[in-house]
Structure 1
């Protein structure tokens, strides 16, 4: 009676890591040779060899593995030959399920050439050997997964880019695949998205604008550049259009200010391909690791707006003061109400007035004593306040005083930098001394008592230096922030000293919040408080 046999072979990167490229004993070609030779010696008819190349032994979605199992249930063969059990699977669950379970139930003989596993002659001892191989292979995969994860985390912490494809707006450096450089074409699109958003455009309005100008979205841009874009079978014509969620992801991505942000997703386990999103506090962020496309000030302004969740009007535009005005009486937001202008006693169809009204009072007239304010009046008040600030800060005496203070501060900062450098060098010398001390002890040049005594002295001096370093770094950071804030104030005053009109971008840059009080119509007075961003 002719016995019908099939073979199964597999190779993956995990096996390359274990065996090394110099030893091709695990190669697919070698496995096929051994399987054919073994079948021929046994006198079995080998009808096919199923082969999965570049698939892990724990992967349950291996195409040829699953075809083998399907054909097994169809009783297309009687024997399965593998070079070793690990070629079939490196997962104890798969081994128990099939080799010690299903194959025996379906009367399928499983044979390995080098492990000498044969289910036709399986006894308690040989089963334990098979299970032991399965356990050690499972442990190996688990250890390998942890080691790879640790290595990748080290790379992430160093700010090395480890993803397969670059973020939209960047390219991988031709000199270093772990470093990003700016893609001038895509970067310009990213900048325009931020500019449009700060100008008051909603996400969908920005997406529509880009689609109307036939600007390729990130997916189409990748495809046109020859990059891998995933399963094409799931692509539709809509896949290559800009959408509001795509715009949102670009606006929320800290990578665009030059910070390397990685570790957002993590595999459930080494056995699964499923990725789960990690909490933001567990992301690995390395600051200033590649050229920024967006400056930090712009990023912070966009982030602030995104957190406020301000929605655009029906036309897709965000009002100039949206989310920035609160009632001084009840502290609730004030909403813009637009109505037609009266021209010659008739309502205009083309010209409109806008008034801001307390949202609480709009729900219940008796709930708040606030009175509305027109957009024109509020805009004029803010511009007048800016001009007053300009007059104050451009007083020659005040400017001279500020320059004197700034100069002295710069000298202090330089001194702090030098002290920081000295303390860091001291800590490095301390670490070197501890290492040298330990080596002297090992060599027998130092007694245990002397070693302990000097070690304690070095540890104490190290703690003092580390504490001093932290203090200097905190003080320097605080002084730098003050100086930066002062320079920013002067820059803003220079920029807007002759301003005549406001827009959404200017409001976002200058104003944190505006509190509008009720109007005293008898005195024609109203309290307005502005919390500036500078």
Structure 2
């Protein structure tokens, strides 16, 4: 309308009252001034406003303020209604997320959509297998799976049921990522994730700590373990930096033992494509300040060790399930450093004293009101009692948290046993299996850097139970013969190292290294050419270096 006013196509605007034109008093003042300059007549029938007849109510600015206040008041009342509904545990969303439908008998209840739910499960499953949102979206688009908006429109629900969907099978990575973040698939009701302002009518996301979550309100599509593993993968995964767009299965699981930082995968491209993991803090400038070494380790070696460990755990469990269950439970209890018997006694004492303090606070309040206790004395006693009460309450809350963690750990043993039983017949380790078993892998530095004959320790922490080494893989005490062999081996290493130092001193080592380097460089260059040719056949291209171009105004010297 304002565009038509500026063009001069509108001469008169008639409204029922000024609130129909707007409820923002600042914008209304600017609008009336704009209409006056454009010589446009404004008529508000119910309020008797007619700028064309020279009658302009001086009370109009106050009416605008009242109109805005009215809109704000209505907004508050609507919000309070939604808040009451949301706090009662009912869904406040206008339509359920993809994978659910409203119950035909009770619109406040959600039931599983048997058509869409398998798609949701497949999205989570593919993420566990190492696929990213873009890869999943591309796959679904190729399979002509209807997007969530199209599927809901076909069912006659959602916001797109009366709109035309131009690309009904075009999945996007943002759609996949949005689905992977929804706690509703766990069977929970999540309210107040967004907030809308009464002026701009736009929804704004709020912090997660302001959400209101009611657990187990409807049937879940995804179990908690799968959801947690997906969030961990999504939060830590990093694609190869060379444009291949792949993610190594170990990404998000590897951590440095010294600095605790994440380890990231790199491709060694010296004629071979060998994935290596290095500490992410080591390379940060200046190099070596945040972490003393790179903790470099081949991904294939880690995969081999992890696969062997998981296989040993499964085989050991299959021999005697009851004994394995007792051992896992004992392993979890050994991690507990708290005497819960004494803790429960202390909790009883804290609860009793908190109740006594509450009665004392009520007593001094009554004495102060009756004039038996001065205000100064009341304030001093109140602060004393309240401070002790808050201290005891904090201690009690800490005990309750530890108790809840202990109970959760007890359940974790059963969950791990269930996981082992599920993969009892697995022949090889898959990416899904890796992510379901392993929580994190701690990598230590090699004990002899620069040597092929070295040892590098890694620690494998399993989901639910933490670090665990099956008895079949436990280190055994070496025999005297093995100790003697180890001594001879170390002596040979020292002798070779002394010979190396002599060659380095007389210059022969440098000559040998230069000859070896030149020979190896020729081999690597040839292998790189072959790799580049393979990449071009696959459609993978690398940017060629741009030659230095002289700046304008300066002459290039040849």
TM-score tier, shorter chain, comes to 0.5 to 0.7
Equivalent in 115, 131, 139 of residue 69 of structure 2:
139
The offset of 1:224, in angstroms, is 0.6
Contact 1:205 1:316 (8 Å CA) reproduced:
no
- Equivalent residue for 1:293? 221
Deviations 1:419-451 (A, max 9, x none): 79x99x989x99xx99xx99xxxxxxx96879x
In structure 2, what is the Cα distance between the partners aligned to 1:294 and 1:259?
11
1:95–1:493 Cα change, 3 Å: closer
Give the alignment of 1:492-511 within 5 angstroms: 492-493=416-417, 495-496=419-420, 500-511=427-438
- 1:305 matched to 2:233? The reply is yes
The offset of 1:266, in angstroms, is 3.7
The offset of 1:260, in angstroms, is 3.6
1:448–1:132 Cα change, 3 Å: farther
- Equivalent residue for 1:31? none
The offset of 1:218, in angstroms, is 0.7
Give the alignment of 1:434-449 within 5 angstroms: none
Equivalent in 115, 137, 155 of residue 185 of structure 1:
115
Equivalent in 181, 193, 202 of residue 132 of structure 2:
202
The offset of 1:383, in angstroms, is 3.6
TM-score normalised per structure 2: 0.59
Equivalent in 363, 375, 378 of residue 305 of structure 2:
378
In structure 2, what is the Cα distance between the partners aligned to 1:458 and 1:368?
57
Equivalent pairs counted in the alignment come to: 437
Contact 2:295 2:446 (8 Å CA) reproduced:
yes
In structure 2, what is the Cα distance between the partners aligned to 1:494 and 1:532?
17
Equivalent in 251, 267, 271 of residue 322 of structure 1:
251
Give the alignment of 1:94-493 within 5 angstroms: 95-97=28-30, 99=32, 102-103=35-36, 106=39, 108=41, 110-113=43-46, 115-119=47-51, 122=54, 127-174=57-104, 177-230=107-160, 235-237=165-167, 239-267=168-196, 269-278=197-206, 280-281=207-208, 283-288=210-215, 290-291=217-218, 292-311=220-239, 318-325=247-254, 332-335=263-266, 356-359=275-278, 372=298, 374-375=300-301, 377-379=304-306, 381-383=308-310, 386=313, 394=323, 471-489=395-413, 491-493=415-417
1:314–1:382 Cα change, 3 Å: farther
In structure 1, what is the Cα distance between the partners aligned to 2:100 and 2:325?
46
In structure 2, what is the Cα distance between the partners aligned to 1:233 and 1:449?
74
Contact 1:205 1:317 (8 Å CA) reproduced:
no
Residue segments in structure 2 that go unaligned for 5+ positions in a row: 288-292, 467-558
SS of the residue corresponding to residue 127 of structure 1 reads: coil
The offset of 1:356, in angstroms, is 4.7
1:231–1:333 Cα change, 3 Å: same
Contact 2:11 2:39 (8 Å CA) reproduced:
no
TM-score normalised per structure 1: 0.61
Residue segments in structure 1 that go unaligned for 5+ positions in a row: 1-65, 341-352, 439-445
Give the alignment of 1:30-45 within 5 angstroms: none
SS of the residue corresponding to residue 171 of structure 1 reads: strand
1:290–1:479 Cα change, 3 Å: same
Deviations 1:179-225 (A, max 9, x none): 44433332222122111211222223322333344432211111111
Contact 2:190 2:213 (8 Å CA) reproduced:
yes
In structure 1, what is the Cα distance between the partners aligned to 2:257 and 2:78?
57
SS of the residue corresponding to residue 94 of structure 2 reads: coil
In structure 2, what is the Cα distance between the partners aligned to 1:87 and 1:395?
74
- Equivalent residue for 1:10? none
